[in-house]
Structure 1
Amino acid sequence: MSYTLDWERVKREVDIEQYFLFKMGSLYSFDKCKKAYVLHQNGNHGDIIRFFHHERSGVKMYYSIMNQDSGDIIQFIKKRILNNTSALPGEINQELRLFLGLGNDDSRIKVSKTYFAQVSEEVEPTHYQINGDIIQKISLHWEYLEQYRKFNRDTILSGVFQNTLFTYRKDNTTSLSYFVKDISGDVVGIHRVFTGKGDYFNKKWFDVNSKNSIGFTFSEKPEVTETLSVFESVFDAMSYAEIFNPANTQYCSSNGELSFSKAQNIKEYFTSNSFDKLVLGNDNDISGVYFNLNIVSAFIKEIQQVRKTTETIILDIVSVEHKNFNILKQFFRRLEYIPTNFRDKDLEMTYYTETLSQNSAKFIFIIGNTKDSIQFFVGLLLKIWRLDEFVRIHQPFNKDFNEDLIQQKSLSNE
């Protein structure tokens, strides 16, 4: 019997969380408060998945809050990957072989520190540790970068991006990768892209224990730097650079996650590095405009919090100047009560006052969780607080700037 058929050993030693990140890491983001992974669908929160160790067996398992089900890695493959609780052993083993980079080879798997997690490991470790090999050469990935992403090699090897990409080899998997760093420059993770042929082509996932909730991918800073440009993906940043070739610019990628607290880190980085201009190049979809809202709000000291439901977005604003408040409230309907259900669409473009003390009040503004509503409100904030003097929102024509680059090159070849 081959090792992959020894399911009891697989349950004990193959890390279900790393398998989940490999398969679904680009769709979920880690929520530090919930200590769980949250699915984003059309800008809304979906399922929440948490990992834990079974009290008796020590096997690492998953729990889905939305579907109210749990299980080990074998059950996860059946329910979530194959969508077939009666899946045959061969189908499950094929998934495991692909994950471990074995293809159809039934040879015995070597135990490794990466794919075979110790039972005592925490779900959220206190720090990130690089366990694989970092290889500076990216020659393995030229076809992916030049043919699939449509980059000129000069862009990849330019001064600002020449140190961004590298090859990361971990066990039997080799990937195109880039660092995730916090705003102080410390490495807190690695984002990986599979560029080889097969089912996992262009699959993106974070190296296990990566902390994207506080991390970004930064380009090099030119000697003279005036502008910080923010994107969701490093490939969007590189595409923007190739299309527009702006001078004196450093690029920052959020890697698809940008909460209000993470946006506050961008504000701190912008301020501490004395940039003059901020360009927001997030995607042309509801997630992209929500990221814009979080960043713009982070630059307004009166905004304490931004949070959202499936239908509404709620902002807590305190100590706002009378002039600014008078302009803002013209676009909103005043509520005389505290809403009991923020999901109610009738609450869009409303506000109410929450008394904090005799001399202090908080204003709760509620907008619709739609692309048009968020875009309008972002424009309003930019004008009222005069942030448009240094903040520019540059929205791609297609979904993102890499799609713009691909379309531009396709048209030029027609």
Structure 2
Amino acid sequence: MRVVLVTYGSRGDVEPMTGLALRLAALGAEVRMCAPPDFAKLLDSVDLPLSPVGWPIRALATGAVPGKAQAGLSGIAAELTAMAYEAVAGVAEGCAAVVATGSLPALAGARAAAEKLGVPYVFTSMSPCYLPSPHHPPRPWPGQVIPAEMTGNRELWDLHAEHMNTMFGETVNTHRASIGLPPVDHIRDHVFTGHPFLAADPVLGPWQETPELAVAQTGAWIRPDERPLPADLEAFLAAGAEPVYVGFGSMPMRGANTQEVSRAVIEAVRTQGRRVLLGSGWAGLTTDDRDDCFVVGEVNQQVLFRRVAAVVHHGGAGTTTTAARAGAPQVIVPQVADQPYWADRVTELGIGTGHHGPTPTAGSLSAALETALAPETGARAAAVAETVRTDGAELAAKLLLDMIGRRGRG
């Protein structure tokens, strides 16, 4: 049995799909991953074959792909839809299912390939806030104008669907016509389907049932990481009290001066009497020459976050879950997409706080850290850590294989 997993997104999309892939493989399935070429080394390290999709995601996000810096998502949608279609169509013939997440144009291409090949397609969301529901409003989409008098969740989701049609409808249907498929009227609902998977922890990101969608919430898809920490990082951790980790993952923090942000976060942490551990990430955070500050690249956060006083980060679903699972208090500095949702959830749960605005200053971050480093926040974070599910990928793999089996028997 062969399953194709698809994403065009950053590490926060690829990591959970890798977690699912490993569980599927453990249960006897053959897995192929379609993802940006940036992740060839990661996937090779766990023996997952990669079919590259599109441009390197980091280059695209940081404006380094020639001719794409000013295009925006709508400007590259046609190419991305076609590239995802070609990648999936090239490996999915005869497979048992296509499971997809990531950007909407790539999802449309993945579903078109599955449809063309007669293969079941399963959409996955990493956050409940992306799924239409009368219980919460949609996240604002760049360029979308929302009338002031429109406040009801259902009408806001209807407006969201119209906006998706305006942005991507013509592009997606032009591509579908080129491969002999009929047009679709509702792009978002076509891509999301009526029965998506939700790969989010039920405590951190709960889903309220609604008649509109039959959502299978499995818990977050976690790839177990057993790598040791680098020796120089171990030496820094052993040299003093628990530091505060600050890193913004796959966020380039456009419009912000890297040096200024680095100085601000270092000063904020020092104001709280703590040592500083910087994750350089796409933001390129840099340290100064004092021995209470250390900078690291990509490391095992599952291990690291258990050894820090707090985690300051961008609010990606994966980083939020990893910090919560480690019992580390959090400060989320949201940049885009679902990150404000996770900032709100961390605040509501009492396991940290959200930062107001995408660019921290020394004063604003120091104030947020006062909340995160308070004893009651630490105690609450430790308590919530005990509730975070670790079997989400296994549950999703079993649900998927059961779905495939029922289809086969039918």
TM-score > 0.5 by shorter chain: no
Q: Relative contact order (C-alpha < 8 Å, sep 6+): which is higher?
A: 2
Q: Which has the higher strand share?
A: 1
Flag the structure with higher helix content.
2
User: Which of structures 1 and 2 has the bigger CA Rg?
Assistant: 1
Taking structure 1 as the reference length, the TM-score comes to 0.27
